Chain A
Amino acid sequence: MQWSRVKSILIVILLVANGFLAFNIAGKYVSRYYRETETAHNMTVILTARGIEPGRALTLPEAHSLPVLQIDRSRPDEDTFSTGLLGEDAERTETPDGAVTYTGAAGSLTWSGGGSVAGAVTPVGYKRPSGARAMEEAVQKLLSDAGVTNPVELAADETASMVTAGFQTAGVPVFNRKLTFGFSDTRVTLTGWWTFGVPYTTRSGVYAACEASDAVFTLISRETVGRIDRLEEGFLLTENGGGRVQMTPGWRIETDIGCFFVDSLKKSSMAIENY
């Protein structure tokens, strides 16, 4: 009889505790929703007051914390990539500035000191692919031959006969870590910035809070923008002052006067190509 009462009391206590926690969690989500809605509304008001038109597709994505990543060139991976496309007998020459050129019967590839690559190859039995799907399949085959195993995102431009390959890091795109394949009648040209090393952070690594509204305010305080079309969170590969290659977290913002990258850590903006 006593145990039954104790259990009843425990049930009541647990119900109260769970109810309190559930109310607390629900309150947090509701308040976050209202805060985000209010921020979006305030932003629209501010943009409108400044004569900036919010694009139809403009939404404010949820805030995230992203690490500032370092990345080093990996010569063995570049070697594997080049010999995979040009053949094992490709000849390798290096200049004092760190640029490495691979030359083989199938073509040549040059990796610059900073990790950008340019070249042209003619794969065995090459026939110019027609149509977006055929071009994407051809790029998949080339990347597979080159030993790239990471999941790759492909975007085909049928008019320009080009396919751009990129892949995500930390769940977001790296805007300029891409390879562009151009198909002509006789060969495939290849350009881009594709540092192969695995991005890394360290124990004392810095993390940046990526707030979309902050990024918009940073941009409009520096640039005369007439319309903001789209925001996308991601990294930009940069060579920083310390001579290292860094992946900086921030936002790519598409506007009527061009595309900008807003650094979430430094709160600075810079014009970039519309990658």
Chain B
Amino acid sequence: MKIPKNQLKNTTKNLILLSLFLLLIVLTAISWLGDLSLDAIPADSWLGRTYIDLSFGASGGFELRSGEIPAAYPVECAVWDDASLRGAQYNEVAVKSFLSDYGQTVASALAGVRRLEEGSETDFRAALSDAALYLRYDSVLPLSLLTNWMGGTLSVSDDPAVTALLLTRSGELWLRGDGAALWTGTTGQKLADVQFRAQAFSGYACRFAALSGTPYDGAAVHPETLLFDDTLSLPTLTSTAAQFDTESAASLQQLLQAFGYEPHVRNYDDGDSGKRVFVESQSTLRVGEDGTVVFRANTVEGGLEAYLESELGGEQPLAFQIDYARRLLDTAAQAFSSDASFYFVYAEDDRTSGVTRLLFRYAVGGVPVMDADGVMAVIEFRDNMFVSAALNLRSFTQGEVTAGLLPSGQAASAAVGETRGLHVGYFVREDGAYAARRYYLIDGKES
């Protein structure tokens, strides 16, 4: 059968149109995607994930974690191991290993909480005997921030500042605030069903003070205080101010870079203070030979933009401010060598000036450095602008001499009077070296 000429012409035009249209899509995609880079795509969007998979390969590559890098790690952790509790305290490696194993479980449990209410000490003591996972920080952290660091998202509107959390095998969550405050909620998942690999976790046998019987019955420590049979031995520390050759050293360039200053920015020696002052149009950076570094923006506009207001969405600005400060201090810390890391301790809002102040402290091997020299930085934000910072850059070196600490059981039973937390920290001695010892904390104050 002969196809009419008009119909043939029409079909041909249709085919050409279709081909050209498909070609247009392909060429547009090549033209657009060819200019894309990971700087231009939000990494956690579906497009970002697809781009990462296509660029680097899903296998043998790397993960994109939904949580941010924590600015503080727990100092104590414990997991239920069928018949007993295994835990670790003030051990950086063990704690990170614990988070690697159970962080996702904690994140998932926290994300499952729908309502929080105030809890009583009596109920909390009863819950301790059903403990599945326990974590304690030496910082006061908003629960939303802690959940985010674990890789989850908090769904309750309440966002209490907490220092410890307990997940029970029956699915309860208990939170300890700064001091005596307690909150509780239901996670919606029973951890009794979770296969805890406590045998792989390198912790030690431990128990809660409230469940330890005589002589701890009357001890004035929080009931969740972990008691270990093993004695903690920690090395002594020496501390020196971070030295910057203010003329040409690479370490100084690293420091300038952290604050967004060009290496050859205008600078002069301040004769009175003995500091080198670097001057930008609306801010100054003072670097002293004693390791002090002070950044001040003369105006809000002279500060550095920590995040875009549009990035916030429904999230609290504190998480963005802490993450910016962590990255800044990470860069500054790389300017000199030290055995110390740093961690976020707390944030305070100055309502009169509208400034949010963050405090970071040094830690060595997971043990906080106390006293004034232990404070690494106080950083201030006004909304999304980083406007001020006072850094105390010190290099801590671990010595070969280790000293045993008072066993946790003895320290707990020696506590009388007001209920308190039992902590470990490095304190300066008369000879200038730092030695670790146990101390009590009552309502945020050292005792």
- Is residue B16 contacting chain A, with contact meaning CB distance below 8 A? yes
* Interfacial chain B residues near A94, Cβ < 8 Å: 202
Cα–Cα distance between A24 and B62 once the two chains are bound (Å): 34
A11 CA to B17 CA in the complex, in Å? 6
Per-residue CB proximity of B17-37 to A under 8 Å, as 1/0? 100110110011011001001
**In the complex, what distance in Å separates the CA atom of A10 from the CA atom of B61?**
45
Q: How far is the CA of A240 from the CA of B365 in the complex (A)?
A: 14
* A96, B334: Cβ atoms closer than 8 Å: no
Contact A7–B38 (Cβ < 8 Å): no
Of the candidates B38, B254, B340, the one whose C-beta lies within 8 Å of that of A207 is: B38
- Are B57 and A171 in touch, CB under 8 angstroms? yes
Q: Which of B17, B21, B68, B363 contacts A202 (CB 8 A)?
A: B68
Flag if A75 contacts B62 (CB, 8 Å). Answer: no
Report whether A203 and B97 are in contact in the complex, using a CB–CB cutoff of 8 Å: no
Rounded to whole angstroms, the CA-CA distance of A15 and B100 in the bound complex is 56
Q: Are A15 and B20 in contact (CB under 8 A)?
A: yes
Cα(A203)–Cα(B27), bound, Å = 30
> Is B277 an interface position by the 8 A CB rule?
no
Q: With A8-B13, A241-B333 in contact, do A73 and B96 touch (Cβ < 8 Å)?
A: yes
B65 CB–A CB distance under 8 Å: yes
Is B323 part of the contact surface with A, judged by Cβ < 8 Å?
yes
Which residues of B, 62-100, contact A by the 8 Å Cβ criterion?
Answer: 62-69, 91-94, 96-97, 99-100
- Counting contact residues on chain A (CB < 8 A from B), the size range is 35 or more
Q: Is A268 an interface residue (CB 8 A)?
A: yes
Please state if B38 and A242 are interface contacts (CB–CB under 8 Å). Answer: no
Known A202-B69, A204-B323: A14·B93 in contact at CB below 8 Å: no
Within A239-272, the residues touching B (CB, 8 Å) are 240-244, 266, 268
Q: Is the CB of A69 within 8 A of B24?
A: no
Chain A min CB distance to B410 (Å): 19
**Chain B residues whose C-beta falls within 8 Å of the C-beta of A18 in the assembled complex:** 20, 23-24, 27
Partner of A240, one of B10, B64, B93, B330: B330
Q: Which residues of A contact B10 (CB under 8 A)?
A: 4, 7
User: Binary interface profile of A, 192-225, with partner B (CB < 8 Å = 1, else 0)?
Assistant: 0000011111111111010000000000000000
B13 and A11: CB pair below 8 A?
yes
Cβ proximity bits B321-344 to A, threshold 8 Å, 1 near / 0 not: 001001101101111111011100
Residue of A at shortest CB range from B311? Answer: A204
CB of A168 within 8 Å of the partner chain: yes
Asked whether any CB of chain A lies closer than 8 Å to the CB of B359, the reply is no
B56 located at the interface, meaning its Cβ lies under 8 Å from any Cβ of chain A in the complex? yes
Interchain CA distance A4-B9 in the complex, whole Å: 9
**Given A11-B20, A98-B91, A169-B60, is A204 in contact with B68 using a C-beta cutoff of 8 Å?**
yes
B119 to chain A, nearest CB (A): 32
Closest residue of A by beta carbon distance from B332: A241
B50 within 8 A of A: no
CA distance A52 to B342 in the complex (A): 43
Asked if A76 lies at the interface with its beta carbon under 8 angstroms from chain B, I say yes
In the complex, how many angstroms separate the beta carbon of B435 from the nearest chain A beta carbon?
15
Contacts of B101 in A (CB 8 A): 75-76
For B66, B96, B327, which residue has the most chain A Cβ atoms within 10 angstroms? Answer: B96
Contact call B27/A167, Cβ cutoff below 8 A: no
Closest to B326 in A: A242
Does B44 count as interface, using CB distance less than 8 angstroms? yes
Question: Which residues, 175 to 206 on A, are CB-close (under 8 Å) to B?
Answer: 197-206
Whether A73 pairs with B97 at a CB distance below 8 angstroms is: yes
- B166-203 CB contact bits vs A (8 Å, 1 = yes)? 00000000000000000000000000000001001110
From residue A208, how far is it (CB to closest CB) to chain B in Å?
10
Contacts of A98 in B (CB 8 A): 91-94
Determine which of B16, B323, B342 lies in contact with A11 in the assembled complex, contact meaning CB atoms within 8 Å.
Answer: B16
Contact with B334, one of A74, A170, A241 (Cβ below 8 angstroms): A241
Q: How far is the CA of A197 from the CA of B9 in the complex (A)?
A: 63
- Nearest Cβ on chain A to B251's Cβ, whole angstroms: 10
Q: How many Å lie between the Cα of A94 and that of B59 in the bound state?
A: 32
Contacts of B326 in A (CB 8 A): 242
Chain B residues near A96 (CB, 8 Å)?
91, 232-234, 402
Assess whether A199 is in contact with B201, with CB atoms less than 8 Å apart: no
Extra pairs beyond A21-B31, A170-B61, A198-B63 (10, CB < 8 Å): A4-B10, A25-B31, A74-B100, A96-B233, A98-B94, A242-B333, A242-B341, A243-B92, A266-B254, A266-B257
Q: Can you pick out 10 interface pairs between chain A and chain B where the beta carbons lie within 8 Å of each other? A: A73-B100, A75-B201, A76-B101, A76-B200, A79-B200, A202-B69, A241-B336, A242-B326, A242-B341, A243-B341
Interface residues of B (CB under 8 A from A): 9-10, 13-14, 16-17, 20-21, 23-24, 27-28, 30-31, 34, 37-39, 42-44, 55-57, 59-69, 91-94, 96-97, 99-101, 197, 200-202, 232-234, 250, 254, 257, 323, 326-327, 329-330, 332-338, 340-342, 363, 365, 402
Interface residues of A (CB under 8 A from B): 4, 7-8, 10-11, 14-15, 17-18, 21-22, 24-25, 28, 65, 67, 69-70, 72-76, 79, 92, 94, 96-98, 100, 113, 150-151, 167-171, 197-207, 209, 240-244, 266, 268
